[in-house]
Structure 1
Amino acid sequence: MQSRRDQVQAYFYVVGRMTSAVTHGRPDVVRPPGRRLSTGLAIGVLIAAVLCAGFGVYGLFQPGGNTSWRTAGALVTEKTSGARFVYLNGTLHPVLNLASARLASGSAAAPTSVSAASLAGTPVGAPIGIPDAPDSLPSATSLNRAPWTVCASPPTAGSVGPPTLSLLLGAPAGPEPADDEGLLVATPDGQESLVWQGRRHRIGGPRVAAALGYDDVAPAPVQPGWLSAVPAGPDLVAPAVSTPGAPGPTIAGRPSRVGQVYQVSNPALASDDLYLVRADGVVPLTRTMAALAMSSGGSTVRVGPADIATVPRAAGVELGHDLPPVPPRLVVTHQEDVPCVRVDVADAAAPVRIGTLPATAVAAATVPAGTHTPGVQADRIGIPAASGVLARVASAPGAAPGAAFLVTDIGVRFPVDDDDALSALGMQGSSAVAVPEQLLELLPTGPVLDREPALQTRSPQSRAGR
């Protein structure tokens, strides 16, 4: 019986004879068919391998020859050292930083990596660029639209000194006072203010604070820069009256004096109404305005509803507008709580919010790179790495857009001259967020980012931006 091997050998023998018969016309040729083809293919592969190896060895000793990068305005980097150049008018110019390179080339295209041999022989000119311009730029997709938070950290326990002013982007929202609560703050010069429902109200002196019931409360220390981040409201001062102490209208059969406060008790309504005497009549007062009116001394005069009903009302007078109707209860901050102002720059209609954050959350802010004015500008700034903000100064409705600034992750704002410069930096003006000017002023200002200064030649000692 035939084995499996015998069957396979017989099969290949028959196939070989058939192939020989087709290719040579004889089924029993001495040489196997296709031998020349196999031999030629093997020799060709060997020659190709030798040629490739030869070119590879040549490339190791004689690299270069790439000229595709030689286009006007090309931004190139040398492979080995990472040195950055801009190709202008047939000359390679070393460039101080990435922002200058993009502005000089007029394009936000990625740099082309070129070997030193390919750069060899190209004329090299003087360095160009803007000293202190940023060397790290956010991409259009990494622009930050998170809320801005301004915090005033008190000195550490056992130490003295002014509070630390911090600016953070994207910090979490903290607890906020209730509608009937406010925050009493004071700047290093001793000026106290009441912050209530997103507005600050300057307190007109110790007597006013005492009249409002705030004389025994220690205010939270803040810096002027913190206070400027809060929109200003009316001052908490005594209402102005002309000729105080002059004779006023007759009330309850007795003469009154301009500046007096009358309290009208109505048992039927279980309410007390307050009025201020003016020369031409009386004007209703809120409890806050009544306290302010009596801050310079004096007390209320109590009368009945019928006594005040016949007294003329002063025309066209409204007191206490935009002030709390009742002196707010004060939120007491502790050493571990930091008072903060939160502004949602992505929503112009959103109100400014006042709250507190844990001191540990605020301590994550870094020191800004640029020189700054203590108290007026932020001492510490926290912006996520590799991000930034394209900001425009918030303008009034219907007004022209404000100036544009690029805020980088080193905590510096750089004015951007026009839309062409923005485009060269890889951004569009339409992606800018409106930021209140007082917030932008918390940041140190860097040089203007524009094409003309980016093309200026600089000395080798010019410092590149960070």
Structure 2
Amino acid sequence: MATKRDLVEAYSFSRRRLVTAFVSGAPGGREVEPSRPGRAIVGGIAITVLVLAAAAVLGFVKPRPNAGWADSEGVVLAEDSVQLYLVQVGENGEDTVLVPIVNATSARLILGSDLNPTTVPEAEINKYEQADAIGIPEAPVAMPGGDALVRTGWTGCTTNGGGFQVAVTSDASVEVDAQAAMVVSSGGTYFLLAPGQPDAAGTPRTFRMEIPSAEAAAELLEVLEGPVPEDVVEVPRDWVDLFPAAPPLGLDAFDFEGQLDQPGQGIEGLTLSNGNPALTGMLVLDRNGDEVVLTADGYREMSDFGAAVYRTLPNIGEPSQVTGDIGTRYADPAPNDVWPVDRPELRQDATAQQPCVVLSTHEDVPPTVTLAFRPSAPAAAEGVGADEVRTFVERGSGAVVRVGGFTDTRAGDAFLVDSQGVRYALPGDALTQLGYGIDDAPVVPTAWIEHFGCGVTLTREEALRPIGSSAQADRTCTPVAPGEEAPAEEGAEAEAGAGG
């Protein structure tokens, strides 16, 4: 056993070693460096920056409402329910009442397009009195933006014996043939669809011309080297109405200015080459072989197409050569601004079994249409029944239009067509309240807009009505007022004035 002396010496030895270690330093002469306080400071700063950044991001994603949101009128959005509220403040600046608004369209009609609602926590919303909900439940949930509006290039396609479809798309999906012509039948009535003269801006335009009778149609088809009447494409009448009307292909279309008030009268000094007397109203060949119509005091020169139509009239037939002086020449009596001048070449191949019409709208010039063929989806009317009319609007798109006739430039009521194919009337300042401008609303003929689903009228007054009120219960869809087509000659003058 160690003695007390041994323990004292061992303790002294350990003490000397410890002192030597502290005094002598680390082996090799390298001292142990104390930790630097700057590292801890830098780390703390970095953590603080991260915390502040996270707080900023959280504040951006989930902003706090302005402290005074309830002190001024406007629109707020409940954070959890995503319900819009109209803020109504009392006369004394107190007694704020929140009025639920059924949808964003109603809110825009009330306050304008720049809503920018303040997001408010549900708990804050519940602190205030709430009135009965207002708005137009049937209003469109989403409206097309300005860049999504389809202003031109609408199509209307049909098939032989089928119905038709009106499509509003950014890509027409058809092949336009502005010089094409064809004869179609609708319920026993025949029509020639053919290009007239271009409009004031030089844009081609196609017209519909009714043929007075089946006999006249057969004769015209023979003159134009078209198909027999039994092979003519059968189309819906509403599809034919997508074209502007030109004067029917009958005698009344010719303006002889009173020179043929008494047709069939003999003309002194004139005979036909077969020896028969020349009579007023006859279609004859002059010395140059041109077809002209004889009048009491001269003759009327005829365009190639005008002569073809005149030949189909009762008791006219093939022209004969005339001998003698036929007198003074007068202007062509045919409405050549909307009729073809030359005989059109009729479309008769397989593509004619699926004809289309393309609508073009223009600034300060009336709308025009042209024939088109070879439709593909979504323009094609495949599968549409004979008595059926379908509409198609490209997803996310729509249109804002003013309804008028084929001779109008800025007239007519405004309508919104949404992506569901429903039209809504926009009377008064509803157009601008929803954020659209006058340039967003081209003129579209009545026949093109009336086939879309009929929605309710969108006005500020309607948007302010309580849900379920008697006034709202009585609200019905607004029909499109029928367009009045001006006579072709007047329409041409209107277009010339607009284009000049």
Q: With structure 2 as the length reference, what TM-score do the two structures score?
A: 0.67
Q: Distance in 2 between matches of 1:392 and 1:314?
A: 45
Q: Distance in 2 between matches of 1:365 and 1:409?
A: 21
**What's 1:403 paired with?**
413
C-alpha contact (below 8 Å) 1:66/1:118 kept by paired residues: no
Q: Equivalent of 1:133, from 135, 139, 147?
A: 139
**What's 1:190 paired with?**
188
**What's 1:83 paired with?**
83
C-alpha contact (below 8 Å) 1:406/1:416 kept by paired residues: yes
SS of corresponding position for 1:447: strand
Question: What is the letter of the counterpart of residue 243 of structure 2?
Answer: V
Q: Distance in 2 between matches of 1:176 and 1:166?
A: 16
Question: What is the letter of the counterpart of residue 95 of structure 1?
Answer: I
**What's 2:124 paired with?**
118
Shift of 1:125: 1.1
Q: Equivalent of 1:381, from 376, 391, 408?
A: 391
Q: Distance in 1 between matches of 2:123 and 2:105?
A: 26
Question: What is the letter of the counterpart of residue 294 of structure 2?
Answer: V
Question: What is the letter of the counterpart of residue 392 of structure 1?
Answer: R
Question: What is the letter of the counterpart of residue 9 of structure 1?
Answer: E
C-alpha contact (below 8 Å) 2:293/2:300 kept by paired residues: yes
Q: Distance in 1 between matches of 2:380 and 2:308?
A: 40
- Once the two structures are superposed, the pairs formed by residues 28-47 of structure 1 within 5 Å of their partners are none
Q: Deviations over 1:270-300 (max 9, x none)?
A: xx31122233332223343334333223544
**What's 2:150 paired with?**
144
C-alpha contact (below 8 Å) 2:165/2:392 kept by paired residues: no
**What's 1:283 paired with?**
300
Q: Distance in 2 between matches of 1:194 and 1:4?
A: 112
Q: Distance in 1 between matches of 2:377 and 2:353?
A: 9
- Once the two structures are superposed, the pairs formed by residues 57-96 of structure 1 within 5 Å of their partners are 68-70=68-70, 72-89=72-89, 90-96=96-102
SS of corresponding position for 1:200: strand
**What's 2:464 paired with?**
455
**What's 1:223 paired with?**
236
Q: Deviations over 1:250-274 (max 9, x none)?
A: 32475322332222464xxxxx311
Q: Distance in 2 between matches of 1:366 and 1:384?
A: 19
Q: Deviations over 1:200-238 (max 9, x none)?
A: 111111122122115604333333332222222222114
**What's 2:216 paired with?**
208
Shift of 1:366: 12
The question of 1:246 aligning with 2:259 is answered: no
Q: Equivalent of 1:234, from 247, 266, 272?
A: 247
Shift of 1:151: 1.8
C-alpha contact (below 8 Å) 1:77/1:111 kept by paired residues: yes
Give the share of equivalent positions with the same residue, in percent.
24
SS of corresponding position for 2:182: strand
- Once the two structures are superposed, the pairs formed by residues 145-164 of structure 1 within 5 Å of their partners are 145-154=151-160, 162-164=162-164
SS of corresponding position for 2:354: strand
Question: What is the letter of the counterpart of residue 216 of structure 1?
Answer: V
**What's 1:21 paired with?**
none
Q: Distance in 2 between matches of 1:414 and 1:5?
A: 93
Question: What is the letter of the counterpart of residue 303 of structure 1?
Answer: Q
Shift of 1:401: 5.1
The question of 1:319 aligning with 2:334 is answered: yes
Structure 1: runs of 5 or more not aligned: 17-32, 50-63, 156-161, 267-271, 368-373
- Once the two structures are superposed, the pairs formed by residues 302-317 of structure 1 within 5 Å of their partners are 302-303=320-321, 307-308=323-324, 310-313=325-328, 315=330
SS of corresponding position for 2:245: coil
Q: Distance in 2 between matches of 1:207 and 1:358?
A: 32
Q: RMSD in angstroms over aligned alpha carbons?
A: 4.3
Q: Distance in 2 between matches of 1:339 and 1:238?
A: 29
SS of corresponding position for 2:435: coil
Shift of 1:178: 6.8
SS of corresponding position for 1:358: coil
SS of corresponding position for 1:100: helix
Question: What is the letter of the counterpart of residue 319 of structure 1?
Answer: A
**What's 1:343 paired with?**
359
**What's 1:269 paired with?**
none
**What's 2:55 paired with?**
none
- Once the two structures are superposed, the pairs formed by residues 435-454 of structure 1 within 5 Å of their partners are 435-454=444-463
Question: What is the letter of the counterpart of residue 340 of structure 1?
Answer: C
C-alpha contact (below 8 Å) 1:72/1:87 kept by paired residues: yes
Q: Distance in 2 between matches of 1:230 and 1:206?
A: 21
C-alpha contact (below 8 Å) 1:100/1:129 kept by paired residues: yes
Q: Distance in 1 between matches of 2:30 and 2:152?
A: 77
Q: Distance in 1 between matches of 2:37 and 2:347?
A: 98
- Note closer, same or farther for the CA distance 1:455–1:178 as it changes in structure 2 (3 Å cut): closer
Q: Deviations over 1:4-44 (max 9, x none)?
A: 9956635x36xx9xxxxxxxxxxxxxxxx979xx89x99xx
Q: Distance in 2 between matches of 1:249 and 1:9?
A: 141
Q: Distance in 1 between matches of 2:383 and 2:457?
A: 24
**What's 2:436 paired with?**
427
Question: What is the letter of the counterpart of residue 411 of structure 1?
Answer: G
C-alpha contact (below 8 Å) 1:166/1:365 kept by paired residues: no
C-alpha contact (below 8 Å) 2:293/2:302 kept by paired residues: yes
Question: What is the letter of the counterpart of residue 202 of structure 1?
Answer: E
Q: With structure 1 as the length reference, what TM-score do the two structures score?
A: 0.71
**What's 2:105 paired with?**
99
Q: Distance in 1 between matches of 2:113 and 2:464?
A: 14
C-alpha contact (below 8 Å) 2:304/2:343 kept by paired residues: yes
Q: Distance in 2 between matches of 1:437 and 1:245?
A: 43
Q: Distance in 2 between matches of 1:403 and 1:100?
A: 20
Q: Distance in 2 between matches of 1:5 and 1:389?
A: 88
Shift of 1:341: 1.3
C-alpha contact (below 8 Å) 1:260/1:300 kept by paired residues: no
Question: What is the letter of the counterpart of residue 207 of structure 1?
Answer: E
- Once the two structures are superposed, the pairs formed by residues 286-297 of structure 1 within 5 Å of their partners are 286-295=303-312, 296-297=314-315
Q: Deviations over 1:143-183 (max 9, x none)?
A: 3334211222445xxxxxx523323332335334473x411
Q: Distance in 2 between matches of 1:317 and 1:223?
A: 34
SS of corresponding position for 2:133: coil
